[in-house]
Structure 1
Amino acid sequence: MSITLGDASAAPGETDTGRLRVGESRDGSPVRLPVCVVNGADDGETLYLQAVSDGDELNGLGVLTRVVPQLDPEELSGSVLIVGIVNAPAFQVAEHRNPIDDTKMNRAYPGDDEGTNSERIAAATFDAAKRADYVLDLHQGSTSRMLNEARVRCGRHHRLHRDCLELAKAFGTGHVLDQKGPDGQLARAAPDEGIPTIDPELGGCVGWDEESIQYGVEGVFNVLRHYGFLEGEVPMATQVRAAGFDQYRSPAGGLVHYRAELGEEVTRGDVLFEVTDAFGQLSGRVTADGDGIFWRSRRLPQVATGEYVCSVATGIDSF
């Protein structure tokens, strides 16, 4: 049986690309998101993938440009539905939020097909996601520097928590944030519909980063093999899990000099960063409040007093 998404339609053993209409722009021209359907030759489950929910987070799109050409529908059991660029208005102007309604798209789910521009896009893509058995919402840590991780956002008391953790472990970045996310995230809304969902956060950069993209490509194929879409076994390696973050801000204006590296274990009292003036004179020093892993940091060195600098993941264990 043929499978359609927007105007893409693929018979068993075929791949097709097309567009999903989600409304009109200010000049009345249609806004259409790029979509892809990979319909396996054999019956099976459905995986939904999407990228660029935030317009400046491009590593997920980089993943899709590599996954789709490698995905042979003749070897696939089941189907893969893909929305390549969710936040098309933000992508066009290289901004994080939808400039039409100043909304962060991943706070708009499950959406509203009669709502704001972002809510309508969320509703259309959520309809596609609800057709799936598993969902991967590909993100990155915006333009900050960040570890490659997968996020489980349903909350530890959710009925699908264990299933979402399994999906994160199968994806296999090595680091997992297991913390209930804000309302409006796809990884919050889809589990409420009974669909295991994670949002891999593939590093953080300006443009895209090849190392993080490769993590994502391997992660997608790990998921496809683990859940039987493709033949092959996936070693379920132990993951480092964090329960939350301590965020650190600058005590002074100036230039940041990091004393910890991404992925490094830190203990209470360790120096995380120092701030100097333009001539190297020390203006401030910040130490860790507790034990954890140096997880994320701002990219640009200049900071104002009170501006965000870095995050240390806390509540660390393994699973």
Structure 2
Amino acid sequence: MADQAKWIGHKVGTADARPGEMVRGGIPIVADMYGRERLMPVVVACGVEPGPVIWLNGAIHGDEPEGPWSIALVMRQIDPQQLKGVVVAVPAMNVDALTAGTRGDPLDTFTYDMNRVYPGSATGRATERVAYAHYQAMMASADYQIAIHSGGDHSYLSQMIFAPEMPQCLELAAAMGPDFPLVFTSLLKAGDPTSELVKKGGGGITVELGGQCRTLTRDFDTVCQTLARSMLNVLRHFGMIPGQAHYCRSWKRGHQVALLANATGLWIGDPGLEFHREMAKGAALGQIVNLYGDVSETVVAPADGLVFGLRHRPQVRVGDWICFYGVVDEIRDNLLPR
């Protein structure tokens, strides 16, 4: 966070914003076959007074379009003349993957998933070099980062935040507001933006909401408006924009259990299954049936807990992800600093 005497603006890549300005530009990445410089899109909103520097990162996975649109909705509602601090929006970290609609860059067969190779390398493979350009830019200034994810082309994820057990990360998660009562533990590891920023003393969270089964008209608007509303709540929490922030009454902290298919066939979810509803160990989640309609596997809850994500593709193979199941370890009445 800069002090008032040094508050002259904020530059990220080619976007150089003076106080009270919102400027579009890009973070330079590798050149194309024609020798033209390629840019990762960035928008910098620089407030008229010092404050936190928050990065909003979307589409590190190209099959997750919720980030680009929800971040655009946020930036539409920011008046830099009434802003304190800086909001840096990166609608799509992985533009080539987003263009193709795939999780990773389909032309990069060696480092396909940017969210596993971050912070990348200046001398690495293609995806690693793109990740490294983002890493250098973000680490130079960010106090906080919010990474927007979804279930992509395979699953739907209901409101969920993954946050390390660090005060600055838990505060950021709580600041997302009343739409996100599930704040599960994420381990600090190499490979993702939050882990790298926390190593530098910053705060970061991974937010999950959406999936390609909900990208038609009203559904997509509902998902992205929820994300945008929550990110704006973060800005209000930190006093960056006018207005009162709102919070959950309590938060569920826990951990994820991955449920994988033990049969190949069609995944048929239980018609009565509801996201976030508490259920007992052994409760039926659905079945996998073969092409004769015979049940090959009944999938059940592995412990007392809740479902926050489900596969939306009926076709399933052995080893495919079926369910994002959450085990609640504790309920906290406050994640904010006391």
- The question of a shared fold, defined as TM-score above 0.5 by the shorter chain, is answered with yes
Q: Which runs of 5 or more structure 2 residues have no equivalent in the other structure?
A: 1-7, 333-338
**2:82 aligned residue (70, 75, 83):** 75
Shift of 1:179: 2.4
User: 2:277: which partner in 1?
Assistant: 264
Shift of 1:15: 0.8
Is 1:133 aligned with 2:143?
A: yes
Distance between the aligned counterparts of 2:102 and 2:188, measured in 1?
22
Is 1:282 aligned with 2:287?
A: no
Structure 1 runs (4+) greater than 4 angstroms displaced:
none
Contact 1:238/1:318 (CA < 8 Å) preserved in 2? no
Q: Which moved more, 1:267-276 or 1:238-247?
A: 238-247
Distance between the aligned counterparts of 1:305 and 1:108, measured in 2?
26
Structure 2 SS opposite 1:9: strand
Q: How do 1:94-105 and structure 2 match up within 5 A?
A: 94-102=101-109, 103=111, 104-105=113-114
CA spacing shift, 1:100–1:26, aligned 2, 3 Å: farther
CA spacing shift, 1:264–1:306, aligned 2, 3 Å: same
How many residue pairs align between the two structures? 313
Contact 1:275/1:282 (CA < 8 Å) preserved in 2? yes
Shift of 1:316: 3.7
1:224-275 per-position Cα deviation (integer Å, ceiling 9, x unaligned): 0111111222123134434322222334333222122222222112111123
Distance between the aligned counterparts of 1:302 and 1:62, measured in 2?
28
**1:246 aligned residue (257, 272, 297):** 257
Shift of 1:27: 4.4
Q: Which runs of 5 or more structure 1 residues have no equivalent in the other structure?
A: none
**2:311 aligned residue (288, 298, 301):** 298
Contact 1:140/1:201 (CA < 8 Å) preserved in 2? yes
Shift of 1:281: 3.8
Distance between the aligned counterparts of 2:209 and 2:267, measured in 1?
24
Is 1:146 aligned with 2:152?
A: no
Contact 1:151/1:178 (CA < 8 Å) preserved in 2? yes
Structure 1 SS opposite 2:151: coil
Distance between the aligned counterparts of 1:71 and 1:243, measured in 2?
34
Structure 2 SS opposite 1:256: strand
CA RMSD of aligned residues (A): 2.0
Distance between the aligned counterparts of 2:299 and 2:226, measured in 1?
31
Is 1:164 aligned with 2:173?
A: no
Is 1:219 aligned with 2:206?
A: no
User: 1:54: which partner in 2?
Assistant: 61
**1:195 aligned residue (175, 198, 202):** 202
Is 1:18 aligned with 2:18?
A: no
Is 1:9 aligned with 2:22?
A: no
Q: Give the letter aligned to residue 317 of structure 1.
A: E
Structure 1 SS opposite 2:170: helix
TM-score, length-scaled by structure 1? 0.91
Distance between the aligned counterparts of 1:307 and 1:273, measured in 2?
14
**1:231 aligned residue (218, 231, 242):** 242
User: 2:127: which partner in 1?
Assistant: 118
Q: Give the letter aligned to residue 168 of structure 1.
A: A
Q: Percent of aligned positions with the same letter in both sequences?
A: 29
1:89-127 per-position Cα deviation (integer Å, ceiling 9, x unaligned): 212211111234332111222232232222222222122
Contact 1:269/1:289 (CA < 8 Å) preserved in 2? yes
1:148-193 per-position Cα deviation (integer Å, ceiling 9, x unaligned): 21211x4x3xxxx121011001113222221215421111110000
Shift of 1:14: 1.1
